[in-house]
Amino acid sequence: MISLMIAIPLLFAFVSIVFKGLAKYALPFIVLLNILILLIASTPVVENIGGWKAPFGISLVLDDASYYVVLVVNLIFLLLSLIPQIIDKGYDTIILLLLTSTNGLVLTGDLFNSFVFIEITAAAAYILAYHRNNPYGAFKYLIIGGISGSFYLLGTIFSYVGAGSLNMAHISNNSFGQLTAAIAILFILGLGVEAKLFPLAGWVPDVYASGSSLTPTILGTAITFAIMYLTGRIFITVLHGTFLDVLYILGLLTVIVGEVAALRQDKLLRALAYSSIAQAGLVVAAISLNNIDSLTGAYFHSMNDLTAKFILFPIATVVIKGFEKDRLAGFAFSVASFSLIGFPLFAGFRSKLLIISSAFSAGNYILPAVLFFASIVEAAYLLKWNIKLWFEKSDTSNNIPWNLKTIVLVLSILLLIIGIYPDLYLDASRKIAQSILDTQGYINSVLGGI
């Protein structure tokens, strides 16, 4: 059943190559279908492709974690499909492909399969990055993405060599012996590029700030969230928390570097790209603390971040003349920025609070300090942009499409609601965190007690 979530978009992606224009209309329905499937599914579901039993064949796993991640990813695609204006002609196919691969990325229980999906995601992302005639940025992304993909593949092969299997649950159940370190390093390098870790992810600003609203909107939200899930899954569930300290250091570095670099930018999209980098670093650092609260906080924060970014990126690309005539869009933009900074009453505050308190209870005094530093810098530049846009004088509005306006408004109100009543996001992220930490449960559900 859940394999349909991968198969149908893929099918339509191919079909739409032949029947041009089909994808545009198909996208919302496909996403809705996916969500429907999710709604009727009850976790955990393990589907073995081709009928091969778990350790031998490829299995798709829908446990609590992947359930919510897939749900979030599909909701994002649903929102995206509701704003067809920002999807340029011909890119519908890529979006479908991206939907396929992201769903696959999350659902798969097989390492090599996840490599395949990562590569497809990356390929789609290269094309997206190329969007709006940005070939050089896209090419850079392609080179570094290709190398990282190779490393991810190497990591996969090493785990096959070490554990004798490609199934995540099976690998997790076995031990690698001496190869653990090598595998962890390879995965760090492989995932680090996509997870925007410093200094691996030099591609981000050039790609995000190409002037397209589609690229950063989808790469900075759905894909990032999926990658964050995969990071947690691989490093905590599969590798049992090996080498998390390296991730932790890289994450902290990313936070600092991202914010400091963002301070300098004189283009809004670029600043937001750096902010995206910094938030990803924060999430990775919080994941690497490896306890239930920090993981909850991390995914909670990631969700707040993607909600905010889904407001910020489209508006940032559309709005050139300031908010004087687009007060609603401006309101949404400001709410999203305040949430990102982490003011009380807004969603970002709750997740930051959770991350800080979990860090403190884990005896970690550095992460909160870095987080506070980052928040200060973030506040400085985000507020600067807010003020600048609010005070831009203009007589005409920016022609923001009504559906985009509605969506960002709804999302900004969602951010406010989450800030006061966070259970909606908090429960989901707690489920994700629990399920990622529950290695034994994962093994049991996939391998069925072998």
Of the candidates 286, 224, 251, 277, the residue with the CA atom closest to the CA atom of residue 433: 286
Closest separation in Å from C-beta 88 to another protein: 16
With binding defined as CB under 8 A, does residue 153 bind another protein?
yes
Count of residues interacting with another protein (CB under 8 A): 82
* Spatial distance between the Cα atoms of 123 and 268, rounded to a whole number of angstroms: 26
Residues 24-83 binding another protein (CB under 8 A) are none
Binding segment (CB under 8 A) for another protein, from list 27-35, 60-68, 255-263, 433-441: 255-263
With binding defined as CB under 8 A, does residue 130 bind another protein?
yes
Among residues 84, 146, 401, 441, which is the contact residue for another protein, using CB under 8 A?
146
With binding defined as CB under 8 A, does residue 198 bind another protein?
yes
**Which token pair is 209?**
């700030």
Binding segment (CB under 8 A) for another protein, from list 12-20, 61-69, 144-152, 217-225: 144-152
With binding defined as CB under 8 A, does residue 202 bind another protein?
yes
Q: C-alpha angle 27/269/79, rounded to 5°?
A: 20
Q: What is the Cα 225 distance to its own chain's centre?
A: 2
The nearer residue to another protein, 37 or 329, going by C-beta atoms, is 329
With binding defined as CB under 8 A, does residue 126 bind another protein?
yes
Q: 319 vs 95, 210, 329, 379, 405, CA distance in Å?
A: 24, 15, 9, 20, 11
The nearer residue to another protein, 74 or 156, going by C-beta atoms, is 156
154: Cβ contacts below 8 Å, ≥ 6 apart: 186, 190
With binding defined as CB under 8 A, does residue 105 bind another protein?
no
Element (H, E) at 60: strand 59-62
Residues 257-286 binding another protein (CB under 8 A) are 257, 260-265, 274
With binding defined as CB under 8 A, does residue 199 bind another protein?
yes
Burial classification of residue 249, based on how many CB atoms lie within 10 Å of its CB (0-12 exposed, 13-18 middle, 19 or more buried): middle
Closest separation in Å from C-beta 130 to another protein: 6
Binding segment (CB under 8 A) for another protein, from list 40-48, 59-67, 114-122, 224-232: 114-122
Binding segment (CB under 8 A) for another protein, from list 2-10, 61-69, 112-120, 401-409: 112-120
Mind giving me the DSSP string for 284-296? Answer: HHHHTT-SHHHHH
**Do strands 59-62 and 45-48 pair parallel, antiparallel, or not at all (unpaired)?**
antiparallel
The nearer residue to another protein, 29 or 372, going by C-beta atoms, is 372
Closest separation in Å from C-beta 133 to another protein: 7
Of the candidates 123, 87, 3, the residue with the CA atom closest to the CA atom of residue 51: 3
With binding defined as CB under 8 A, does residue 288 bind another protein?
no
Mark out the alpha helices in 41-134 (DSSP H runs): 64-81, 91-107, 111-130
